[in-house]
Amino acid sequence: MTPQPLAVDDTQAIRAVIELAVQSLQSDHFDDYFDLFTDDAVWMIPSRFQDIGIDEARSFYGFTDKFRFDQRLTIDEIMLAGDWAFVRISLDGHLRAKSDLHAAPLRSISRHMWILQRQQDGSWMIARDIWNNPKSNKE
């Protein structure tokens, strides 16, 4: 099946999920992020050869208790193939220590392919997160 541009309603719904996911990443309610994923979601993270599931992803993101994500979201592309949507996003910014306001921020750049699946009720959820961490936004 050849990916086709999305209908306006689908585009808005998918953008809303992506924006809510990033808002959750940037909030003190990071666990809300995982509510946007399917139960069988898979993460393909840069530091591991094997994919991880939702329980391991929760553990992987444990460091977020100490940092606040301060990143700008760019949605680079949204494509639809039936009940699947492929979304390329870029996040560019910093991680800032929550407990030490004087600590230097850590540069944080990532590029993601989020694959969303339409649910039986017509809503969209993230089923796959594949990403890399380029050295800078100029590469």
Between the alpha carbon of residue 26 and those of residues 23, 67, 87, the distances in Å are 5, 9, 19
- Radius of gyration from C-alpha coordinates of the chain: 15
Confidence of residue 6 (pLDDT cuts 50, 70, 90): very low
Element housing 10 (H / E) = helix 8-25
40-81 pLDDT, tens digit each:
999 998 878 899 999 988 887 777 778 888 899 999 999 999
pLDDT higher than threshold 70 for residue 102:
yes
Q: How far apart are CA 32 and CA 14, in angstroms?
A: 17
* Across 1-15, 27-41, 63-77, 124-138, least confident range: 1-15
- Whether 112 contacts 130, CB under 8 Å: yes
pLDDT higher than threshold 50 for residue 16:
yes
Looking at per-residue confidence, does 31 or 40 come out higher?
Answer: 40
Q: How far apart are CA 139 and CA 135, in angstroms?
A: 7
Top CATH class, 8-132: alpha beta
Q: What pLDDT score does 7 carry?
A: 56
